[in-house]
C-alpha cells in the first residue's frame, strides 16, 4: 500500500510539474499576443491622429479659400451695384433714342 501511495505521489508531482510548464508556455503565448495587439492599437491610434490633423488642415484651407471667394464675390457685387445707375441710364437712353426714331 505504501508503494501505491509513493507511485501516486510521484505521478501527482509529475503532473503538477507538467501542468505548470504548460501554463508558463500558455502565459508566454498570451503575453506575445497582447504585445502584438498593443502595437496594433498604437499604430491605429497614430494613423487616426494623423488623419484628424490632416483633415483639420484641409478644413482650415477650405475655409480660407471660401472666405477669399466670398470677398471676391462681395467686391464684384459692390462694383455692379455702383455701376447699376449708369447701366440703367444707358439702357433707358437707347430706348428713348429708339422711340424717337420710330415716331
State mean pLDDT over 31-57.
Answer: 95
Instruction: Give me the percent of the chain exceeding a pLDDT of 90.
Output: 60
| CA pair distance 51, 59, nearest whole angstrom | 12
CA 66/CA 63 separation, integer angstroms: 5
**Residue 20 corresponds to which cell in the numbers above?**
505548470
pLDDT (average), residues 15-43? 94
Average pLDDT, the chain: 89
CA distance 69 to 10: 88
Amino acid at each position: 500500500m505504501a508503494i501505491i501511495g509513493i507511485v501516486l505521489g510521484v505521478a501527482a508531482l509529475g503532473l503538477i510539474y507538467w501542468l505548470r510548464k504548460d501554463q508558463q508556455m500558455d502565459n508566454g503565448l498570451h503575453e506575445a499576443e497582447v504585445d502584438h495587439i498593443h502595437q496594433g492599437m498604437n499604430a491605429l491610434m497614430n494613423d487616426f491622429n494623423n488623419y484628424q490633423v490632416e483633415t483639420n488642415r484641409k478644413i482650415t484651407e477650405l475655409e480660407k479659400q471660401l472666405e477669399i471667394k466670398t470677398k471676391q464675390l462681395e467686391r464684384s457685387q459692390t462694383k455692379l451695384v455702383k455701376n447699376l445707375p449708369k447701366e440703367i441710364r444707358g439702357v433707358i437712353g437707347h430706348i428713348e433714342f429708339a422711340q424717337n426714331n420710330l415716331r
